């Protein structure tokens, strides 16, 4: 008995037939309807044949209903767009973006998928600014071309960086752009991609005119959260409910049935052309402040003509200033950066809460040298925003003004503690 | 009426007299017994005099009871060791470490404080390895000299880095070493330092033979959590319950009354001499993997003869590998680092969960090149551990072995999801 075999399983008096999938725990089969089914207890398994075309997903007839409201999909890779090679157990990219739909035939009863675009297929850890530009341009084109919303399927590692980038790039956005991924691969009984896709389809048709992340709300399959693209972060490496709102509450919970339970304020769907404003500065660094950090790294960035540095500073926005060893103080290199026109911005490595330069004098020194304190903005979002802002200006006062302007819910005057 | 005035407040038919403190919200006075009292509602305030010695805390007679079990204190600075200048509203360092006790006279009824040592007074954002060495040496000396436990008062910004450093440096530790700080300064009615100090004194006398952080468990004053020094992180910039166990549950909750509610396994108090094994390698960098990262930063670290690089990788331990732009791939620079003998280790920037190189092929490539995957170790702890390990060996296999050895609860085979 090996993965790829057609097996018949008897359990609790019922019989199931399907393709045996590689599994670390228990027995998992893919049923003829495309669903995976997992058995953790002892079951009777009988081999009845061998899968003929192992490299192919079971064929599913996708209904096509142009009368339904239409959305577009942009497929970029990641676990949600992977499939298992039943022979090797390895995870591969889908051959065809349309295969995405095979795991989730329900989609065709919710929406008419007008276009499935696949500008590139890479895991999200390898995304770069050029990828964000392509996604933003396609999303704007599809929305302006009549789609009610856009779903972007994406790897989860850096999903929150992409959601931040799209939040800034898509100006005058008034329709839903939903990023969705999967924490578990399709070979596992716990595959979360189907529920996430279904909930993202409901969200793409809702009146939430923002860039959002739609992923599992809990570890069970009951519903997904709709998280603001600038205020979310992957907070667990493997759990299905890894994505959390930080300094924010979810916009809504969405149920597979289509029920949307709204939880906080959001920008409503509206009219107008969406603009893809995609200029990004490449020479931007994202560094951490930490004990005993050798400050030569900052000097290197200045020497190499970096235009911006986003620092994950400690707590309220501190960096080493009163060190026993003078060479470890950041005062001199940060002053040099500011004097040479590098835009330096601080966000908190606590993630929750906000930076504030007016509590302790060493932060005030940084502030007075020209460091921009980003309030309750997440460091990841701050990095993306700094690159986007510096794609538009190199002038310090204009950059500061833009960094402190709330474009997409990324910076708030008052924190919401419900999320902590 | 100005800060520093002696005022009389009438509220709910009762009268309170004290020194008016600067306050952003409501009215806060310091009572003659040293406690602060805050009034948020409208109260009647009458000025009855002016504080004579504004630069001095109200004098408190500290009881001294040598019959009580004895502990030692190491005072290093930070908010808990600050005091308000009633005239300017500014926060200053205490003039005398003993002033720490003025805010918390209860300590003298719990323990006999044998020694208060103050090797330096700096905010925790400015701590460096030399500070860790001094604290570790003093702690070992005090424990070996008969103290039942040690309390280290410390700024909160990098408290979790110091707790990790002490966890590795204090070999054969069998008595409590408790790090404690405050999130709010003593001028505020919400000052948390007193409760934290009281709970840390109970912990220092308990049978928890580990390095721990003792800080507020909730936003109210009911109790503190005792967090393992290698498994905690500051997760909020301002909340009093900012410190959280990550991939772990608190060892215990401690109540001001002295009640200790144990929640998970810990190393029990025992006998034997504690060794301060403090060698640390200075040339260790702590960097992030992020979209569009310019890899020249890695080459710079290799060129500058760094001995180790801790990477906060994405999710399961990924870095850019399949980028559209070849120059953005980390494969070549990480290979060069490994080939030139730099020890490269990956921990997850999700914080929760663990890295695992055996799920996706791009992580396996990194693993096969020599990158050390740190399981469920926090990135901050991994950075400190890497510097400590490289203080002891530069040999790759020995370094790998030490990095993957569980010295102080920092790396576990199985995660505890209760904390997420």
CATH of residue A45: 2.30.30.520
Residue-level pLDDT at A34: 64
- Residue B13 falls in which region: left (phi positive, over 0), alpha (psi -120 to 50) or beta: left
Shortest alpha-carbon distance between residue A80 and chain B (Å): 13
Task: Find residue A15's DSSP bridge partners.
Answer: A10
DSSP B328-395: G-SHHHHHHHHHTT-EEEEEETT-BS---TTSSHHHHHHHHHTPEE-TT--HHHHHHHHHHHHTT---
A384 φ, ψ to 5°?
-65, -40
Residue A55 lies inside a defined structural domain of this protein: no
Alpha carbon distance B215, B182 (integer Å): 8
- Cα-only R_g, chain A: 24
How far, CA to CA in Å, does B345 sit from each of A313, B86, B218, B254?
22, 48, 34, 35
DSSP reduced 3-state for B189: coil
Alpha carbon distance A154, A77 (integer Å): 6
What is chain B's percent helix, strand, coil content, to nearest 5?
25, 25, 50
Provide the pairing of β-strand A112-117 with A70-75.
parallel
Domain end point (choices B236, B252, B276)? B276
Q: What is the mean pLDDT of residues B12-20?
A: 85
| pTM for the predicted model, two decimal places | 0.87
Q: Are residues B236 and B100 in the same domain?
A: yes
Domain end point (choices A244, A276, A308)? A276
| A124 interfaces chain B, CB cutoff of 8 Å | yes
Residue A60 lies inside a defined structural domain of this protein: no
Question: Would the pLDDT of A24 be above 70?
Answer: no
Shortest alpha-carbon distance between residue B90 and chain A (Å): 8
Does B325 contact A130 at a Cβ distance shorter than 8 Å? yes
Q: Are residues B335 and B361 in the same domain?
A: yes
Write down the catalytic residue from A19, A27, A76, A79: A79
Domain hosting B38: range is 5-50
Domain end point (choices B276, B301, B320)? B276
- Of B180, B149, B145, nearest to B72 by C-alpha is B149
List CB contacts of A95: < 8 A, sequence separation 6 or more: none
Residue A138 lies inside a defined structural domain of this protein: yes
Residue B155 lies inside a defined structural domain of this protein: yes
Alpha carbon distance A103, B339 (integer Å): 43
- Of B96, B74, B57, B75, nearest to B187 by C-alpha is B57
Residue B58 lies inside a defined structural domain of this protein: no
Residue A267 lies inside a defined structural domain of this protein: yes
Does A318 contact B285 at a Cβ distance shorter than 8 Å? no
Mean pLDDT computed over every residue of chain B:
91
Question: Would the pLDDT of B32 be above 80?
Answer: no
Residue A19 lies inside a defined structural domain of this protein: yes
| B321 interfaces chain A, CB cutoff of 8 Å | yes
For chain B, give the number of residues: 420
Q: Are residues B370 and B390 in the same domain?
A: yes
Q: What ranges in A234-375 are assigned the alpha helix state H?
A: 296-303, 331-339, 361-369
| B156 interfaces chain A, CB cutoff of 8 Å | yes
Q: Are residues A323 and A271 in the same domain?
A: no
Instruction: For A384, name the nearest residue in chain B, comparing CA atoms only.
Output: B291
What's the pLDDT band for B57 if we cut at 50, 70, 90?
very low
Does A120 contact B236 at a Cβ distance shorter than 8 Å? no
List CB contacts of A293: < 8 A, sequence separation 6 or more: A320, A328, A330, B285, B286
Q: Are residues A260 and A295 in the same domain?
A: no
Does residue B234 have an active-site annotation?
yes
Q: Which of residues 224-283 of B touch A (CB under 8 A)?
A: 234-239, 242, 280, 282-283
Interface test with A, best of B185, B219, B240, B290 (most A CBs within 10 A): B290
Q: Are residues B121 and B264 in the same domain?
A: yes
Residue-level pLDDT at B403: 98
Q: What is the CATH number of the domain that holds B112?
A: 3.40.50.1170
Residue A417 lies inside a defined structural domain of this protein: no
Write down the catalytic residue from A111, A153, A156, A203: A156
| B409 interfaces chain A, CB cutoff of 8 Å | no
List CB contacts of B215: < 8 A, sequence separation 6 or more: B156, B159, B180, B181, B183, B192, B196, B224, B225, B227, B240, B241, B242, B243
DSSP reduced 3-state for A185: coil
Task: Find residue A287's DSSP bridge partners.
Answer: A311
Does A157 contact B318 at a Cβ distance shorter than 8 Å? yes
Q: Are residues A156 and A256 in the same domain?
A: yes
Residue-level pLDDT at B53: 46
Q: Are residues B175 and B270 in the same domain?
A: yes
The model's pLDDT over A141-176, given as tens digits with 9 standing for 90+, comes to 999 999 999 999 999 999 999 999 999 999 999 999
**Which is more confident, A222 or A416?**
A222
Question: Would the pLDDT of A137 be above 60?
Answer: yes
Interface test with A, best of B291, B323, B346, B419 (most A CBs within 10 A): B291
Does residue B111 have an active-site annotation?
no
Number of H helices, E strands in chain A: 9, 23
What is the number of structural domains in chain A?
Answer: 3
What's the pLDDT band for B410 if we cut at 50, 70, 90?
very high
Q: What is the CATH number of the domain that holds B315?
A: 3.40.50.40
Q: Are residues A265 and A118 in the same domain?
A: yes
Q: Are residues B142 and B184 in the same domain?
A: yes
B284 φ, ψ to 5°?
-130, 130
Does residue A234 have an active-site annotation?
yes
Q: Are residues B83 and B189 in the same domain?
A: yes
The model's pLDDT over B349-366, given as tens digits with 9 standing for 90+, comes to 999 999 999 888 889 999
Does residue A76 have an active-site annotation?
no
Q: What is the mean pLDDT of residues B70-82?
A: 92
Q: What is the mean pLDDT of residues A104-116?
A: 91
Residue-level pLDDT at A57: 46
Alpha carbon distance B159, A350 (integer Å): 12
Q: Are residues A222 and A352 in the same domain?
A: no
């Amino acid at each position: 008995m090996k993965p790829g075999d057609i097996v018949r399983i008897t359990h609790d008096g019922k019989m199931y037939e399907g393709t045996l999938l590689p599994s670390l725990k228990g027995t998992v089969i893919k049923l003829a309807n495309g669903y995976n089914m997992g058995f953790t207890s002892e079951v009777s398994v009988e081999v009845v044949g061998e899968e003929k075309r192992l490299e192919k997903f079971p064929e599913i007839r996708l209904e096509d209903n142009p009368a339904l409201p239409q959305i577009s999909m942009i497929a970029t890779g990641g676990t949600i767009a992977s499939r298992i090679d039943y022979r090797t157990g390895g995870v591969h990219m889908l051959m065809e973006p349309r295969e995405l739909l095979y795991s989730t035939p329900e989609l065709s009863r919710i929406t008419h998928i007008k276009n499935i675009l696949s500008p590139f297929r890479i895991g999200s850890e390898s995304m770069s600014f050029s990828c964000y530009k392509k996604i933003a341009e396609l999303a704007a084109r599809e929305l302006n071309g009549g789609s009610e919303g856009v779903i972007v399927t994406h790897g989860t590692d850096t999903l929150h960086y992409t959601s931040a980038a799209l939040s800034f790039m898509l100006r005058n956005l008034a329709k839903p752009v939903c990023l969705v991924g999967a924490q578990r691969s399709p070979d596992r009984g716990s595959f979360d991609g189907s529920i996430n896709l279904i909930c993202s389809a409901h969200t793409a048709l809702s009146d939430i005119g923002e860039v959002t992340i739609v992923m599992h709300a809990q570890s069970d399959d009951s519903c997904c959260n709709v998280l603001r693209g600038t205020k979310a972060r992957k907070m667990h490496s493997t759990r299905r409910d890894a994505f959390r709102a930080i300094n924010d509450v979810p916009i809504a919970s969405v149920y597979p049935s289509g029920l949307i339970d709204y939880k906080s304020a959001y920008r409503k769907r509206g009219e107008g052309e969406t603009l893809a404003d995609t200029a990004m500065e490449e020479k931007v660094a994202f560094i951490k402040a930490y004990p005993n950090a050798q400050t030569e790294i900052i000097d290197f960035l200045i020497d190499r003509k970096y235009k911006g540095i986003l620092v994950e500073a400690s707590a309220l926005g501190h960096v080493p200033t009163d060190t026993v060893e003078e060479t470890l103080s950041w005062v001199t290199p940060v002053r040099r950066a500011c004097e040479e026109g590098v835009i330096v911005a601080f966000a908190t490595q606590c993630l929750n809460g906000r930076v504030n330069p007016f509590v302790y004098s060493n932060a005030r020194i940084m502030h007075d040298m020209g460091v921009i304190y980003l309030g309750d903005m997440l460091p990841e979002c701050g990095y993306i925003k700094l690159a986007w802002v510096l794609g538009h200006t190199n002038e310090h006062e204009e950059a500061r003004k833009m960094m402190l302007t709330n474009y997409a819910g990324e910076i708030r005057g008052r924190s919401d503690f419900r999320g902590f």
